[in-house]
Amino acid sequence: MNHKDFISIRDFSPSEIQYLLILARQVKSHPTTYCDALKRKTLAMIFEKPSLRTRVSFDVGIQQMGGFSIYLSPAEINLGKRESVYDVAKNLERMVQGIMVRTFAHEIVEEMARNASIPVINGLTDFCHPCQAMADYLTMWEIKGNLEGLKVAFVGDGDNVAHALMFAGAQVGAHVWVASPRGYEPVEAAVKWSVERGRETGGTCHITNDPAEAVASADVVYTDVWASMGQEAEAEKRDKDFRGYQVNAALFHKAKRDAIFMHCLPAHRGKEVTDEVIDSPQSVVFQQAENRLHAQKAIMLELMKGEFVKLPGLVELQELVHV
C-alpha cells in the first residue's frame, strides 16, 4: 500500500481493504508479534466528539504496539476556532508520528491530512466512520467466513455509519441495503460511488424506505441511534420519524435463521433496538466493539510503521490466516 492517510474507505482499492482486514486478523491472532512495531512512536488523538470505544481502542492499540498516545480535548484545541486546522497540523507534525481526529465536519479531517506531513486517521466525521466499518467487516468475516455475497441490512438513519458500511461493502463484494425514513436516506454521492465500485467487485447497494424489504433474508442486521451527537435538538422529531424502524424480534426474524445483529454502540435500548435482540445469542455487538481495537491497530501499523519496520505482504498474510 502507498497511502499516507486513512480518511475514507473510498480512497483505497478492494485489494488494499482486503489487506487491512487480513492484517487485522493477524494482529488479533498474534499480538506479541507486533508489540514493538510502533516503539517510541506517538499518536495525537483529537476529540471534538467524545467516545468510549474510539478513545480506548486507539489508546490501548498503540500502547500494545510499543507507542504512546496524547489525548487532546476540544478545550485544548477547538479546531478552526481557537487555532486553525493548518496551524494544528503544522505543529503536530513536528512532535508526533500520527494524528487521529474525531470531529464533526469531514472537511476538517481532509484539511488536516492535506497540511500534515504525517499520517492522519479519521476517527469519525459526520460524513463517514471508516474505522467502525473496518471493525464491522472484520467481525462479519470472522463469523460468516466470507464477505463476498453477504447481504448486510442497515436500518435507521442514512448517516456516517451507513455511508461507511456502503463503502466497505462495495469494496468487498457485499450486498448492502439501507432502510431509512424519507428524508433520512444516505447522500446521493455516497450511493453513486458504492454502486459504481460494486460493479467491479460484485457488490451492490440498495436504498429503500421499507425495513422489511431490507432485512428479508439478510445475513447481517445492523442499526444505529436515531439521533447522533450534535442532533440532540432533533431527538423528539426523529423518535417520531423513525418509529417504524426499530429492530425488534418481529423485524429481525425476517432475516436468515443464522443472521447476526450488529450495532456500533452506544445503543438506546427500547428505541432503535429492543433488549431481546441486542441481548440475544445472535447479537455480536461486543465482539464488534473489540474489533475496533484490532482493525485500528492494523491501520496504525500500515500508516505509522516507517521505513524500518517490515510487515508481511498480502500473500504472506493470506497464508497465515488461511484465506
Mind telling me the catalytic residues?
102, 129, 132, 224, 264, 292
Residues 6 or more apart whose Cβ sits within 8 Å of residue 298: 20, 21, 23, 24, 26, 27, 134
Residue in the structure block whose three cell numbers are 507486533: 34
The count of C-alpha atoms lying within 13 angstroms of the C-alpha of 15, restricted to the half-sphere facing its C-beta, is 6
Specify the amino acid at residue 173: G
Distance CA 166, CA 186 (A): 9
Contact present, 298 and 23 (Cβ < 8 Å): yes
Residues in Cβ contact with 63 at an 8 Å cutoff, skipping those fewer than 6 apart? 69
CA–CA distance, 194 with 8 (Å, rounded to integer): 12
Q: How far apart are CA 322 and CA 313, in angstroms?
A: 14
Cα–Cα distances (Å) from 274 to 180, 245, 279, in that order, read 18, 11, 8
- Of the candidates 269, 224, 304, which has an alpha carbon nearest to the alpha carbon of residue 34? 304
170 in Cβ contact with 203 (< 8 Å): yes
